[in-house]
Amino acid sequence: MSGHSKWATTKHRKAAQDAKRSALFSKLSRIITVAAKEGGDPNPENNASLAAAIEKAKGYSLPKDKIKTAIDKAFGSGKDAANYEEVVYEGYGPAGIAVYCEALTDNRNRTAADVRSAFSHAGGSLGTSGSVAFQFERKGQIMVPKEVETGDKKNPVKPNGAAADEEEFMLAVAEAGGDDYEDAEDEWIIYTGPTDLMAVKKALEEAGTETKGAELTMIPTTPTQVSVSDAKKVMRLVDKLEELEDLQNVYHTMDITDEIAEALDE
């Protein structure tokens, strides 16, 4: 069940986003607003897209009051009304690395100009719709801590159910309907089919294993190896794109090896 490691890419991206927390919170709030509006229901139990958006937000510690405000905004009117649309941008960065960007924008022209500028300055090029999408696969991603807090000062943490033992965890993931998993230091990452995300999460929790976040992601089907110098150029482009307020997610096909991960963290 265990495939090639995707964690280094996820870890680097999450660290970069955590460093820009206020901007990240704004993006997460926008995702929740759009999911609530498109689903037509403020109750996540009746709106699967909203439930997934809230789980992603919780994984990045978005406060409950901000989640509520984002949901309320979906059903506001006048200046409080949300008029965002989903747009995808695809292109190639340095060393021919495919880059796939998901945006929520209220001004397509502004967003397109910003994205095109970022690609141009990085020596890349913006492509047409579908030009790189085939190089990615949509997956659900669930984060599961190996230990959880107890609230007891003498014993502050305890094993998190099946997550404490890999053999037990592998069986638990299979029984819950997960496709794959990998070891991510102090937690596990489970990969699921995109429509199975919330069902797998619920099954794990009902079996006694806590989760700490779930979201939809795009996984490269064939990661591309590059040199350290090219990797730095690619990440400069990714960082520039992630700084854009309208862009929610930026995915790439670069294979972040241990060597490259270390170089990027320097």
CATH of domain 4-78: 1.10.10.200
Grade residue 20 by pLDDT with cuts at 50, 70 and 90. Answer: low
Per the CB < 8 A criterion, the answer to whether 234 and 93 are in contact is yes
Grade residue 81 by pLDDT with cuts at 50, 70 and 90. Answer: low
Whole-model pTM over 0.75: yes
Q: What is the pLDDT of residues 40-74, one digit of tens each?
A: 888 998 888 898 899 889 888 899 999 999 998 88
For residue 126, what are the contacts with CB-CB under 8 A and spacing of at least 6? 89, 90, 91, 115, 116, 119
Domains 83-133+219-263 and 135-217 share a fold: yes
Assign 126 to helix, strand or coil. strand
pLDDT of residue 26: 87
Residue 126 has pLDDT above 90, yes or no: yes
Average pLDDT, the chain: 87
Higher pLDDT, 239 or 79: 239
> What is the spatial distance between Cα 242 and Cα 196, in angstroms, rounded to a whole number?
27
Within 10 angstroms of residue 100's Cβ, the number of other Cβ atoms is: 21
User: Which fold, 135-217?
Assistant: Alpha-Beta Plaits (3.30.70)
Per the CB < 8 A criterion, the answer to whether 249 and 27 are in contact is no
CA contacts within 13 A on the Cβ side of 263:
16
Q: What is the pLDDT of residues 149-194, one digit of tens each?
A: 888 888 899 999 999 999 999 999 999 999 999 988 889 999 999 9
Residues paired with residue 101 on neighbouring β-strands, in sequence order: 89, 250
Per-domain boundaries in the chain? 4-78, 83-133+219-263, 135-217
Superfamily of the domain at 83-133+219-263: YebC, transcriptional regulation domain (3.30.70.980)
Residue 22 has pLDDT above 80, yes or no: no
